[in-house]
Amino acid sequence: MTNPLPLKSEKPSRTTLRDVAILAGVSEISVSRVMRNAPNISDSLREKVMTAANALSYTPNRVAGALKNQTSNLVAVVLPSMSNDVFPSVLDGIETVLNEHGLHAVLGVSEYDSERELRVVRELLSWSPMGIILTGLHHSDHIRGMIAQLDIPVVQIMDVEGDPIGSAVGVSHSVAAVAAADYLHGRGYQKFGYIGAWSERPGRSRARRLAFERRLAELGTPLVASHISKDRSSAIVGSEATKALLSAHPNIDCLFYANDDLALGGLFHAMRAGIDVPGKLGLMGFNGIEIGKATPLPLTSIETPRFEMGEEAARLLLSQSSEGFRVVDLSFKLVEGGTT
């Protein structure tokens, strides 16, 4: 589903290095040294300059010193992680379309950390890319301010539930979670648990958990317990979390996971512990990654169109100046495997 949005109003002019120097009460040379991470900079000077830079949504303009026309064939792409098959697939889709137009993606990884995301975005924008692709709809005011000053196309991926800066393409995570709850309840499971990671910094996984909980309550089978690891998603984390949750709540007969990495770890734990899956314990993941389909018991999961999402993000970026902002809701698919 595609929803056209109106073109945004005129953008503010780009903040200069001199503006930052004036606000910070230091010289332009001092600001330049801080922004270049030069050695022998005092903590007080760095804090003074960065406070002013953040207040003004400042990004250095590295292209200005290298190219007179200040143009670029680069597209900035900020992803939260590259540790599993999810975001590499999205990036493949983005690059497939960009390459057809002689453009190149330059990547930054935020590790689901807002401060790191700010640093990554500032660095990428300093090269004056022709556009930027961000992950998710929730970003700091500093990031929104920097992008507004540059007046470049922006697309946000993975989610469509919120207030996008520009165009957006993704899936409805709350709708997907409700579909998961309805399916698992329909399979006869009654005692549900949930397992997540990254301290639930990804807002999308939190949205799924909350929607999953609400739907279970409506169905008369409220969530028994959840386990949210502070560590990054991995099969090992999923295995350990599954063991811990089942030890504390042995009556749980079905687990819904924030993603397939965690769910596969849960499956491996069940196999080692001799737990009958899906008879005694149902397991369901999210994303539908390839390895989940290749296990002896294929993983039941919500499959998201990651490659297509990347392709559509690049198309939206390239068409934004002529067609305005759009929100594209791509459909997910519930893939029934052998774990439910």
Query: Do 158 and 186 share a domain, yes or no?
Result: no
Residues 105 and 222 reside in one and the same domain:
no
Whether residues 7 and 52 share a domain: the answer is yes
CA torsion angle for 44, 45, 51, 54 (degrees, to 10)?
A: -140
Do 112 and 192 fall within a single domain?
Answer: no
Q: pTM for this one?
A: 0.80
Residue-number span of the structural domain to which 185 is assigned: 173-303
- The reply to whether 231 and 153 lie within a common domain is no
Instruction: Tell me whether residue 340 is in a domain.
Output: no
Q: Quick one: 80 and 204 in the same domain? A: no
| Residues 164 and 197 occupy one common structural domain | no
Same domain, 66 and 152: yes
Ranges of residues in the chain with a pLDDT under 70 are 1-13, 38, 61-71
Would residue 187 count as lying in a domain? yes
CA separation for the pair 170, 250 (Å, rounded): 36
> Which contacts qualify for 153-157: CB closer than 8 Å, 24 or more apart?
153/316, 153/317, 153/318, 153/320, 153/321, 154/317, 154/320, 155/131, 155/313, 155/314, 155/316, 155/317, 155/320, 157/90, 157/133, 157/309, 157/310, 157/313
Indicate if 260 and 120 belong to the same structural domain.
no
pLDDT of residue 1: 53
- Supply the CATH number for residue 282's domain: 3.40.50.2300
- Predicted local distance difference test score (pLDDT) of residue 63: 54
Q: 210 with 298, same domain? A: yes
Q: Domain count for the chain, please give it.
A: 2
294 within some domain: yes
Residue 337 lies in a domain: no
pLDDT of residue 13: 67
Answer yes or no: do 258 and 314 share one domain: no
User: Would you state the pLDDT for residue 12?
Assistant: 59
User: Does residue 295 belong to any structural domain of this protein?
Assistant: yes
> Residue 118 contacts by C-beta under 8 Å, 6 or more apart in sequence?
54, 140, 142, 143
- State the pLDDT at residue 68: 42
Identity of the amino acid at 48: K
User: How far is residue 99 from each of residues 74, 87, 305, measured CA to CA in Å?
Assistant: 11, 18, 20
Same domain, 221 and 165: no
Q: Cα separation of 77 and 153, whole Å?
A: 12
336 assigned to some structural domain? no
Residues in the chain: 340
